[in-house]
Amino acid sequence: MCLFVFQSKEGIDLLERTHEISEKIKAKWISPDMSVEELEQYVNQQFDELHRLVRLEEWRVLHLVDLKEAFLTAQAAEKITEISVHTEKLQEEMDSITQQLSELDQVEQDGVAPMSLSPLLAARLPRPPEALVEPMPLNPDLRLRAANQRRAPEDPSGDEDREDAYIGHAP
């Protein structure tokens, strides 16, 4: 793994480095054994070094900004995903509620309960037996047979008054 100077955690203290370079230049300036051309070349080298350090610090800061931007983008994408999942769940719940409301509206219109409502309807109390039986007027001529009394198949006495095709045995 290659580690560049701009990837280090600590930044370059440009003010301190500028101060160091200026001290070096002052030391060379007062030195009697340097010619003007050599001093000019040395100053240019020091400024080039300072320029290189400024560029390294700029790259490091831009790299940190890029990392921060990538981190924030990843966080935002994660939150958007969470919101999308939650929104999808809410949409499913809303669809289910809408379907149930539609079925209830249809029940009101048709008067027939859909299959999905059968558990709800089964939980209701059953109607009392008297509500299931239609009232019949009393017929004083009607006689009930005992359970052990059966007609003989040859006895047409009960079938004479009937107009349907039923003849003979009881169902």
Give me the half-sphere count of Cα atoms (radius 13 Å) on the Cβ side of residue 34: 15
Mean pLDDT on 138-144:
64
Nearest CA-CA partner of 121 in 103, 144, 102: 103
Average confidence score pLDDT of the chain: 78
Read off the tokens for 92.
Answer: 């499913």
In this predicted model, which residue has the larger pLDDT, 4 or 131? 131
Q: Where are the domains of the chain?
A: 13-108
Nearest by Cα to 98 from 108, 87, 90, 110:
90
Computed from CA positions of residues 93, 99, 102, 106, in that sequence, does the dihedral angle turn out positive or negative? negative
pLDDT of 154 > 90? The answer is no
For range 29-46, the mean pLDDT: 90
Query: How far, in Å, CA of 59 to CA of 149, rounded?
Result: 112
Q: What is the pLDDT of residues 107-137, one digit of tens each?
A: 888 876 556 556 665 665 555 556 555 666 6
Mean per-residue pLDDT, 39-45 = 93
CB 53 within 8 A of CB 17: yes
Alpha helices (H) along 3-136: 14-29, 36-110, 118-122, 129-132
- Contact, 21 vs 49, CB < 8 A? yes
Using N-to-C axis directions, what is the helix angle for 36-110 and 14-29, rounded to 10°? 170
